[in-house]
């Protein structure tokens, strides 16, 4: 891999887990973008997804650029598999410095409309997976790296509710979890921050089909009048994990083009 200014981030020789690092086809989701950007800056990356083939494609894309990546399948709702995920990073890289928790699903409706089983599933996938991945990653960071950094991916829905009550609740919990972890593990040299993306165009968003008109409306929701991508989220994640953010912890970085500072309603989850 070409060594350049990106190494100022402080990733060279260090190891990261990107949970939720796969994406359909060659699309650029938030996790895939973060994994590729971390690798470009010199990190060795364990790319994790429930579907191994999706993680393998991300790893292939990283290797094609000269980076180091290993694909690993994990169902992060299963504690033992989260433990094995961390052990895989240690087996391959002998250390763990960074964790990007990027697993999540959407939902729509009020407390009246939402089935209880859906509420429980969304909370499990959007919050409990981050709890479990961190539960096993943090001791490994302390032992092998004497510190580290974690980014949990939330959503602007946590900051501006809009008829996505269960999703909003789960993403609000991610912010609270991040702040609590930052307090708990600052003494261990571990920083914990959160990224709250807005309406970014990713494979998960367009998988069900999206018209050009819908994309245009999403872009207009931004004060910049542009559409976000997985790369925008990936750059934010890399910054917060990097040495450039060494004095930042317990914070939520909103990546939404200014959507949350104006009023227009949108009809799809951020």
CA dihedral 215→221→224→230, nearest 10 degrees, is -50
Question: Residue 96 in contact with residue 69, Cβ under 8 Å?
Answer: no
Separation between Cα atoms, residue 77 and residue 12, nearest integer Å? 31
Read off the tokens for 142: 């302390």
Backbone torsions φ then ψ of 97, nearest 5 degrees: -115, -30
- One DSSP character per residue, 6-34 reads GGGGS-TT-EEEEET---STT---HHHHH
CATH of 5-261, one of 2.60.40.1170, 1.10.3720.10, 3.40.50.720, 1.10.287.180: 3.40.50.720
Query: Is 139:186 a contact under the CB 8 Å cutoff?
Result: no
Give the percent of the chain with pLDDT over 70.
93
pLDDT at 232 over 60: yes
* Residue 1: predicted pLDDT: 45
Instruction: State the pLDDT at residue 162.
Output: 87
Coil vs helix vs strand at 256: coil
For residue 5, the model assigns a pLDDT of 54
Contact of 224 with 257, CB cutoff 8 Å? yes
Q: What is the mean pLDDT of residues 46-68?
A: 98
Query: Which of these is catalytic: 167, 201, 206, 247?
Result: 167
pLDDT in tens, 92-135: 999 999 999 999 999 999 999 999 999 999 999 999 999 999 99
Catalytic site includes residue 201: no
- What is the reported pTM? 0.93
| Percent of the chain whose predicted confidence (pLDDT) is above 90 | 83
Q: Which candidate, 88, 83, 51, places its Cα nearest to that of 69?
A: 88
Residue pLDDT, tens place only, 1-51: 444 454 589 999 999 999 999 999 999 999 999 999 999 999 999 999 999
Length in residues, the chain:
270
Q: What is the pLDDT of residues 131-173, one digit of tens each?
A: 999 999 999 999 999 999 999 999 999 999 988 999 999 999 9
Query: Is the pLDDT at 205 greater than 60, yes or no?
Result: yes
DSSP state of 267: S
Q: How far apart are CA 243 and CA 231, in angstroms?
A: 19
- Separation in Å, CA 112 to CA 109, 117, 164, 166: 8, 13, 12, 11
Count CA within 13 A, CB hemisphere, residue 17: 36
For residue 204, give both structure tokens: 């998960």
pLDDT at 213: 79
- Residue 120 neighbours by CB under 8 Å, 6+ apart: none
Lowest mean pLDDT among 105-109, 209-213, 241-245: 209-213
**Is the per-residue pLDDT at 251 higher than 60?**
yes
CA separation for the pair 114, 111 (Å, rounded): 5
Q: List the structure tokens of 225.
A: 């009048």
Confidence of residue 53 (pLDDT cuts 50, 70, 90): very high
Rounded to whole angstroms, the Cα distance separating 198 from 209 reads: 18
């Amino acid at each position: 891999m070409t060594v350049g200014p990106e190494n100022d981030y402080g990733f060279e020789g260090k190891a990261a887990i990107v949970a939720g690092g796969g994406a359909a086809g060659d699309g650029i989701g938030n996790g895939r973008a973060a994994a590729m950007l971390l690798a470009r800056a010199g990190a060795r990356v364990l790319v994790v997804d429930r579907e191994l083939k999706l993680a393998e494609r991300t790893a292939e894309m990283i290797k094609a650029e000269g980076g180091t990546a290993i694909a690993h399948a994990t169902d992060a709702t299963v504690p033992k598999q989260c433990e094995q995920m961390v052990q895989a990073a240690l087996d391959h890289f002998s250390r763990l410095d960074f964790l990007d928790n990027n697993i999540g699903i959407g939902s729509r409706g009020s407390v009246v409309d939402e089935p209880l089983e859906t509420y429980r599933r969304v909370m499990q996938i959007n919050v409990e997976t981050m709890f479990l991945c961190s539960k096993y990653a943090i001791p490994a960071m302390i032992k092998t790296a004497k510190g580290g950094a974690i980014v949990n991916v939330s959503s602007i829905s946590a900051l501006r509710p809009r008829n996505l009550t269960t999703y909003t609740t789960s993403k609000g919990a991610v912010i609270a979890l991040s702040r609590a972890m930052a307090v708990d593990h600052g003494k261990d040299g571990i920083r914990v921050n959160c990224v709250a993306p807005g309406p970014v165009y990713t494979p998960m968003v367009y998988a069900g089909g999206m018209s050009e008109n819908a994309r245009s409306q999403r872009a207009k929701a931004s004060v910049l009048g542009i559409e976000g991508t997985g790369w925008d989220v990936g750059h934010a994640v890399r910054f917060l994990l990097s040495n450039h953010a060494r004095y930042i912890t317990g914070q939520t970085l909103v990546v939404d083009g200014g959507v949350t500072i104006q009023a227009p309603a949108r009809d799809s989850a951020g």
